[in-house]
Amino acid sequence: MVITIASGKGGTGKTTIAANLAYVIAEKHPQVTWLVDCDVEAPNAAIFLNPELSARKAVERQLPVINPYECTACGECVRACEYNALALAGGKVLFFKELCHACGSCTLICPEDAISETAEQVGMLEQGRSGNLRFAQGTLEVGFSSPTPVIRSLKKWVLPENRKGVFILDSSPGASCPVVETLRGSDFALFVTEPTPFGLHDLKVVVELNRKEFQLPAGIVINKSGEEDTLIEKHAQAQGLPVLMRIPLSRRLAEAYSSGKLLVKEEPALKEKITRLFKTIQGRTKEEAVWKRS
Amino acid sequence: MKIAISLEENKGLESKASTIFGRCPHFMLIETDSMAFEIKENPARQATGGAGIQAAQFILDEGAQAVISGNLGPKAFSVLSAGGIAAYQHNGGSAQEVLKAQQTDTLECLIAPSADAHSGNK
């Protein structure tokens, strides 16, 4: 089972929920529960878990190299490039690396076979363990703007084809390509939000993304919950999304968080809540599976 | 000589010359001998990325030998210079006015980009 934690707004508690949820599940399902930090631009879930990292793998992309002796300046590659990474000027093809998406179209289309490819490292994947919990993360190289290839490689590296195990994917904030790439192929989307106008605004965007693109069964966690919860509840109700859990706004929890501690270790009541949350998610994904078959 | 001028609008010779290059709405392509011109939409105007490169490629493909624009970013500049196209920087005015300034040698011919990448996005 693959559960993606998303939020829209940053700082709502995605990583906190992901780490605590994974920790609780791993107690029940040791060695087959994974926390996968897909926020490759700033992975930080490891702070809560202090995993021992035992394996690393580089993520590379293939860039075109144009052989000037074979190139006849026909311009086919320039016309094939969707990203304006190539230009034909003065009888030569110019290549702009920053714009290249490494799609390989130019290499394929070149009628002279004048384009070969060279690997460039764009990120690093790591995996290891923290007690019973397995852990993986991806890191985008500094200076690169596209996190999606790193997320795609990370998921491919960690998720087995049969999906046996429980995989908690901690996504980046927002609702753009990296979040789409993380949600893709998941069984459940858990949206962590906070009862503020900003939390609501960005929640709407990511809920809409799921509705239009994936239709995953989904639920909401209200973090820093309090008197303003109706703000989120109204939208949840209108969208037919259940509020599955609330974590109250509490100084004690905030202090535990800011010193890098898992909240479930500090607050037994929260551990029970999270155990129930996982059961509800299991129930909802099964419901959905039955509904999809019929 | 055929010259390309980046334009803010499509109003013939009175069109306001654009301060930006890659994402300007229109280009005027004008033959300086006959003053015959046409105004074409910039195909790169809505590009998700690489607008300067695409616009420069467009001008090369249209066979212009010089460009007049308010600014020119680094990628557009490298495509134009690789294509052997001279780029002139105007200080505002209509297409007619900036062309006249170019013809009377009062415009600066750029030897380096005049703006940072993505300046036209701001």
pLDDT in tens, B27-65: 999 999 999 999 999 999 999 999 999 999 999 999 999
**Chain B residues with CB inside 8 Å of A94's CB?**
78-79, 82
Domain stop point among A83, A113, A143: A113
Supply the CATH number for residue A80's domain: 3.30.70.20
Query: From start to end of chain A, where are the E strands?
Result: 2-6, 33-37, 52-66, 86-89, 92-95, 115-130, 133-140, 166-170, 188-193, 218-225, 243-248
Averaged pLDDT for residues B82-90: 96
Kindly state whether residues A100 and A173 are assigned to the same domain.
no
Among residues 94-113 of chain B, which lie with CB inside 8 Å of chain A?
none
Q: A100 in contact with B at a CB cutoff of 8 Å?
A: no
- Residue A212 lies inside a defined structural domain of this protein: yes
Please name the residue of chain A whose CA is at the shortest distance from the CA of residue B51. A84
Report the pLDDT averaged over residues B56-84: 96
Which pLDDT belongs to residue A286? 77
- Together in a domain, A82 and A182: no
| A77 and A191 co-located in one domain | no
Would you say residue A209 lies in a domain? yes
In chain B, positions 26-55, which contact chain A (CB-CB < 8 Å)? Answer: 44, 47-51, 53-54
Query: Where residue A202 sits, what CATH number does that domain have?
Result: 3.40.50.300
Residues A194 and A98 in one domain: no
Q: Phi first, then psi: give them for residue A31, nearest 5 degrees.
A: 70, -10
| Domain that residue A102 falls in | 68-113
The reported pTM is: 0.79
Predicted confidence (pLDDT) at residue A294 exceeds the cutoff of 50: no
For residue B25, the 8-state DSSP code is S
Residues A283, A202 share a domain:
yes
Q: Name the domain count of chain A.
A: 2
Q: Are residues A50 and A97 in the same domain?
A: no
**pLDDT tens sequence across A122-136:** 999 999 999 999 999
Q: Summarize the confidence of residues A206-220 as an average pLDDT.
A: 96
Q: Are residues A288 and A230 in the same domain?
A: yes
Report which secondary-structure segment, H or E, holds B55. Answer: helix B51-61
Q: What is the pLDDT of residue B81?
A: 95
Q: What is the mean pLDDT of residues A134-155?
A: 95
How close is the nearest chain A Cα to the Cα of B50, in Å? 5
The per-residue pLDDT for A291 is: 58
Q: Does A201 touch chain B (CB under 8 A)?
A: no
Residue from A77, A84, A94, A98 to probe the interface with B (highest B Cβ count within 10 Å): A84
Same domain for A109 and A185, yes or no, is: no
**Residues A35 and A74 grouped into a single domain:** no
Q: Which of A285, A154, A172, A278 is nearest to A218 (CA)?
A: A285
Q: Coil, helix or strand for A284? A: helix
Q: With cut-offs at 50, 70 and 90, classify the pLDDT of residue A289.
A: low
Its CATH architecture, for the domain B2-121, is 2-Layer Sandwich (3.30)
